[in-house]
């Protein structure tokens, strides 16, 4: 049976990691009782600053490993929410190294590979943090490649970051379906020439109308649905 669009012309499916395969808020959720009522806001600030730092550095033409940005973003979040005991910092960083995968992720990856498609991660995460996360989530044997932007020395949405996927897999951009929960990442993938699929897990409004996804799904379950 032929694949549904956009997989009908794809040779590989490449995934963003953080927020797409891995729940970035699961680190704080594990320690929510110790953090207290600021837990959700702390997690949101941590994620917002982590991404903001990557964008600012890219625009400045500079690069710092994503794990360092993750630490700096957590420090900012703790300063922004002073009611949270800073002693939780080490526990939160340990938890971030082993984030929970969304429940449908293993089965979707298995199905794609069983049906003859190559699978990979392309992430802003540096190699060490990605290796730890993939191992903790038990996804290693379901992926053909785990790619960090480290070799490019810049973060997504820079074209040099997206170059890494086709080069590693030996697949032309138009034959790569790229999935991300981050709308800005989808915009970058569309500009680059991938077939981007937005995993809109939280029902966010659309944006970047000139750089649209080819499909919008609520979770990875929708990728193979007709």
Looking at residue 81, what DSSP letter applies? S
Provide the Cα torsion 46, 47, 52, 57; round to 10°. 90
Tokens 């897999």 sit at which residue? 169
Count CB-CB contacts under 10 A for residue 104: 14
Is 16 assigned a catalytic role?
yes
Contact assessment for residue 171 and residue 120, using Cβ atoms and an 8 Å cutoff: no
CA distance 176 to 165: 9
Q: Which residues, in sequence order, are CB contacts of 135 under 8 Å at separation 6+?
A: none
State the catalytic residue, choosing from 8, 16, 75, 144. Answer: 16
What's the longest Cα–Cα distance across the chain? 56
Taking CA atoms, 143 is separated from 52, 118, 172, 179, in Å, by: 28, 8, 18, 14
Q: How far is CA 151 from the centre of its chain?
A: 17
Instruction: Point out the residues that are catalytic.
Output: 16
């Amino acid at each position: 049976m032929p694949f549904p669009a956009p997989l009908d012309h794809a040779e590989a499916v490449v995934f963003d990691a953080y927020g797409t395969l891995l729940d970035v808020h699961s680190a704080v959720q594990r320690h929510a009782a110790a953090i207290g009522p600021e837990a959700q806001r702390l997690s949101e600030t941590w994620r917002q600053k982590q991404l903001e730092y990557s964008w600012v550095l890219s625009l400045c033409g500079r690069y710092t490993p994503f794990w360092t940005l993750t630490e700096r973003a957590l420090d900012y979040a703790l300063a922004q929410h002073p009611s949270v005991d800073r002693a939780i910092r080490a526990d939160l960083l340990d938890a971030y190294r082993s984030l929970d995968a969304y429940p449908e992720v293993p089965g979707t990856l298995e199905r794609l590979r069983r049906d003859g498609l190559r699978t990979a991660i392309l992430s802003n995460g540096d190699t060490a943090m990605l290796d730890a996360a993939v191992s903790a989530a038990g996804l290693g044997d379901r992926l053909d490649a785990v790619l960090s932007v480290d070799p490019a020395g810049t973060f997504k949405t820079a074209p040099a970051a997206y170059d890494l996927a086709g080069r590693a897999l030996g697949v032309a951009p138009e034959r790569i379906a790229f999935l991300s929960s981050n709308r800005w990442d989808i915009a970058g993938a569309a500009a680059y020439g991938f077939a981007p699929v937005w995993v809109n897990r939280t029902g966010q409004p659309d944006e970047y109308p000139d750089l649209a996804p080819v499909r919008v799904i609520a979770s990875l379950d929708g990728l193979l649905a007709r």
